[in-house]
Amino acid sequence: MMDWEQQLKLQAYLDDELSAADRRRVEAWLARDSEAVALLAELRRTHMALAVGERDHQLPESREFYWSQIERGIRSAERTPTAPERSSWWAAWRRLVIPLGAMAAVVLAGILTVSQFNPAPGRESEMTLADSDAFTYRDYAGGMTLVWLSYPAESESSLSSLVDTLD
């Protein structure tokens, strides 16, 4: 398999761009490598196909004059200083309004997001800790209050009396 360097060397040989010494080396290489011969034949066929399908295009001016016009245009563009852009009142207004509008949109999105996570009054529940032995839970939406007393039972008899009281 040929590498790119060898393929380019064959293309340069076909285009007659090699020195005499390089040309002799490529001819010696072609004498012993059939893959190189096949690639050179393919390159010749491609070159001929392009030559047949290619039309000559004549420029109205000479080649040197054409390229010198392009070069003069580039040099004059490099020398011409660009005028500073004049700022109108509309441009200054836009520089102020666009960031303020963006900030207002961010604030509004934040307010809407927070309001989604904080329900309206009457639908919230409240938990309070009055003292260390009692826990109160209020559910305004359900209209319910729960008080949990966590006093330790002193004996089984007090626990049984508490059960009798609840029944």
Question: Within a domain: residue 78?
Answer: no
- The pLDDT tens digits for 98-150 are 889 999 999 998 888 877 666 555 544 445 554 556 667 777 777 777 776 66
CA angle, 47 as apex, 44 and 48 as ends, to 5°? 85
Residue 144: give the domain boundaries.
Answer: 125-166
Q: Given the structure tokens 């005499």, which residue do they identify?
A: 20
The CA distance from 99 to 106, in Å, is 11
Question: Within a domain: residue 16?
Answer: yes
Question: Within a domain: residue 104?
Answer: no
- What is the domain count for the chain? 2
Question: Within a domain: residue 141?
Answer: yes
Kindly report whether the global pTM for this prediction surpasses the value 0.85.
no
